[in-house]
Amino acid sequence: MSSVTVTRRRPSSSAAKDETSPDAKRAIDTYGNEFVAPEYTIKDILDAIPAHCYERSMVRSFSYVFRDLFFIGLFGYIAVKYIHLIPWLSGRVVAWSIYAFVQGLFGTGCWVLAHECGHGAFSESKTVNDTVGWVLHSALLVPYHSWRLSHSKHHKATGHLTRDMVFVPKSKEQFMENRQMDTHSFADNFEDAPIVTLYHVLMQQLFGWIMYLLTNVTGQKYPGRSKFVQNHFVPWSPLFDKRDFLNIVISDIGIALTFTAIYQASQAWGFSTVLLMYVFPWMWVNHWLVHITYLQHSDPRLPHYDASEWNFARGASATIDREFGFIGKHIFHDIIETHVLHHFVSRIPFYHGREGTEAIKKVLGKYYLKDDSNFITSLYKVARTCQFVEGDNGVKMFRNFNNIGVPPKQENKL
């Protein structure tokens, strides 16, 4: 089993009453440990955070934008200037592969800064936030306002099985239906082979972000609404409210401008150049976005709640911090390492995230989860473990058909 560390501190008084209350809702996580739904409030969390953590510096935020853009420009210059001078095809392939990977890292950094803008954490000016966010996200083919609006709804209902907007876990029935097998044959005869899990992980990483924008995959279902409008580009999509119409149009204009720039660049320098310089790094950005967000909300210890048991504080803590070393801290702007805090107070800028995280740990106690396992291999391990959720008292936990941890409930048979 991978090395997992869970921060355990003395719970606050409000959280402590969970353990003894006869009305406390309990569940068993995938590892077989008892989980008791917490009782702390959002006020308990907010009171613990130092006031200066809320301070947003536009100068400091712009310094990170300029830093990321500087390195993107530098590596682009190096690639154009020198890679073609490598005499061996294999050497050029390796060089372009390294270029795409590195540019994808800094492109993801820019994506994270645009994400800060969407939450109002970049500066105190909404105009600055929306302008910078729109430019950075549009350049990465992300509809800024469209995603900002659906992402806001995700934050308002994290862990809610019928209101959350992304990575909504499947029930056992939904999971088996997706595998196109009936309940009896699946549960009795089928176990996902590792190669099957690997295939699904690869599909998720290659196409997950695009499919989320285009079809709302992993989001809520909207029966009776055409699948062609359940996306982030149609102003009358069920993802949005009527008042959001103009913002969706503005987002689409940003995407159209970027596609126009891609077309013009292809005409001027050839599509192969655009493919190497932009498309491959962009695919790496998409990979990291799905990798990061999936692991932030999927773990064998994380609960999900029915409407009867959900509240904002419970949902916000149904997330997990992870570690990605130098890349996470210095290039991805701590989006991986301070995500729990981010769900409690999304307007705190990332550069105050670690201090804020240390503060809320004192309230969350054992409910603060952090996983120090290898960030890369965790993707596969979590996919093997977290296939669907089960529970009959409003608190549901992940289960799987891979003989990992607590087995799913067996159907009653006559």
Cα angle 220, 221, 226; round to 5: 135
Residue 191: predicted pLDDT = 62
Residue with tokens 């083919």: 141
Helices within 83-227 (DSSP H only)? 89-118, 126-139, 144-156, 172-178, 183-189, 194-215
| C-alpha distance across the termini of the chain, in Å | 37
Q: Which residues of the chain have pLDDT under 70?
A: 1-20, 180-191, 411-414
Nearest-angstrom CA–CA distance, 179 and 349: 41
Q: What's the Cα-to-Cα distance from 1 to each of 31, 56, 373, 381, 400, rounded to whole Å?
A: 11, 41, 10, 10, 16
Nearest-angstrom CA–CA distance, 190 and 192: 7
Q: Which of 394, 330, 148 is nearest to 251 (CA)?
A: 148
Nearest-angstrom CA–CA distance, 207 and 283: 9
CB atoms within 10 A of CB 241: 9
Residue 286: predicted pLDDT = 98
Residue 127: predicted pLDDT = 98
**Per-residue H/E/C for 342-408:** HHHCCCCCHHHHHHHHHHHHHHHHHHCCEECCCCCHHHHHHHHHCCEEECCCCEEEEECCCCCCCCC
Check if the beta carbon of residue 368 is closer than 8 Å to that of residue 317.
Answer: yes
What is the DSSP secondary structure assignment for residue 85, as one 8-state letter? Answer: G
Q: Please state whether 375 falls in left (phi above 0), alpha (psi between -120 and 50) or beta.
A: alpha
What is the DSSP secondary structure assignment for residue 190, as one 8-state letter? Answer: -
Q: What is the pTM of this model?
A: 0.92
Q: Classify each residue of 196-225 as buried b or exposed e, where b means 16 or more C-beta atoms within 10 Å of its C-beta.
A: ebeeebeebbeebbebbbeebbbbbeeeee
